Amino acid sequence: EPEVTQTPSHQVTQMGQEVILRCVPISNHLYFYWYRQILGQKVEFLVSFYNNEISEKSEIFDDQFSVERPDGSNFTLKIRSTKLEDSAMYFCATRGQYNQPQHFGDGTRLSIL
Amino acid sequence: EDQVTQSPEALRLQEGESSSLNCSYTVSGLRGLFWYRQDPGKGPEFLFTLYSAGEEKEKERLKATLTKKESFLHITAPKPEDSATYLCAVLDSIQGAQKLVFGQGTRLTINP
């Protein structure tokens, strides 16, 4: 069964450094999302991306965050200057047609020191 | 603002002991309710989508039902491999929005 693949599985970074999280969507999926889950808390929406542009973003997704699909396959989330509170699991999700469910990858655990 | 509340937070059952998990939601117009299963260290795995009150979906030992205010995930004769956190989410009610709003999950443990 097709899967959403995320790399790396675990990233440890010093505060203030830039990180890039990568996601390979399911083939022929058109809608892409990032969510995050702080330990012990709910899964929360960050951003949605369609047709090479952001279609929706949450209050969490401030100027430190950016997304792109540089080569038509990978979908990336960049955090420019990481803070301690950015430590969380980051999940990529993708879906096909409008009413189809979102399918999630296994996440990247981001640890900021 | 759309809200999703799941209960109980944690549930421990014996193998074969059936039960139900609850998901209450507050949205201005339901555009879809989703159930996911999440194993430790993994991403949410899609189980069901429900769109309208009265709708039911089944998969193996799981059955999801929907009313105008809540959804239930019924688990019949569970096995230890059904142990996981079960997440409920609604599609944001703003027309055209695509984000999922999640509940905090129910952590289900099935003892052999």
DSSP helix/strand/coil, B80: helix
Lowest mean pLDDT among A68-77, A89-98, B41-50, B87-96: B87-96
Residue A87: what pLDDT? 97
Domains and CATH numbers, chain A: 5-112 (2.60.40.10)
Place of tokens 């952590």: B107
A19-42 average pLDDT score: 94
- The chain-wide mean pLDDT, for chain B, equals 94
Q: Which two tokens stand for residue B49?
A: 């989508």
- Nearest-CA residue of chain B relative to A38? B104
Distance CA A101, CA B47 (A): 9
Name the pLDDT band for B82 (thresholds 50, 70, 90). Answer: very high
From chain B, pick out residues whose CB is under 8 angstroms from the CB of A107. Answer: 41-43
Band of the pLDDT at B95, cuts 50, 70, 90? low
Q: Are B97 and A56 inside 8 Å of each other by CB?
A: yes
A25 contact B CB<8A: no
Within 10 A of B91 (CB to CB), how many other CB atoms are there? 23
For B106, name the nearest residue in chain A, comparing CA atoms only: A42
Question: A30: pLDDT confidence band, cut at 50, 70 and 90?
Answer: confident
User: For position B8, which CATH number holds?
Assistant: 2.60.40.10
pLDDT recorded at residue B66: 97
pLDDT in tens, A6-20: 999 999 999 999 999
Residue A2: pLDDT band with limits 50, 70, 90: confident
Kindly list the distances between the CA atom of residue A90 and the CA atoms of A33, A43, A104, B110, in Å, as whole numbers in the listed order. 10, 9, 10, 28
List of residues 6+ apart from A46 with CB closer than 8 A: A33, A34, A35, A36, A57, A58, A60, A61, A65, A77, A90
Q: With CA atoms as reference, report the closest residue to A35 among A3, A75, A2.
A: A75
Note whether A42 contacts B: Cβ–Cβ < 8 A: yes
CA dihedral (A95, B5, A47, B32) positive or negative: positive
Determine the Cα–Cα distance for residues B112 and B104; give it in Å rounded to an integer.
Answer: 26
Please count the structural domains in chain B. Answer: 1
Tell me if A42 and B99 make a contact (CB, 8 A cut-off). no
pLDDT value of position B2 = 79
* Domain hosting residue B95, numbered range: 3-111
Whole-number pLDDT of residue B96? 65
Asked if the model's pLDDT at residue A25 lies above 70, the reply is yes
B83 — pLDDT class (breaks 50, 70, 90): very high
Burial of A104 (0-12, 13-18, 19+ CB in 10 A): buried
Alpha helices by DSSP H, listed for B1-110, are: none
E-strand stretches of chain A: 5-7, 10-13, 19-24, 31-37, 43-50, 53-57, 65-68, 75-79, 88-95, 103-104, 108-112
* Position with higher pLDDT, A70 vs B56: B56
A-chain residues near B42 (CB < 8 A): 106-107
Q: Rounded distance, CA B51 to CA B67, Å? A: 10
**Cβ A58–B99 below 8 Å, yes or no?**
yes
Query: Per the structure block, which two tokens stand in for B87?
Result: 């997440």
pLDDT for the residue numbered A54: 93
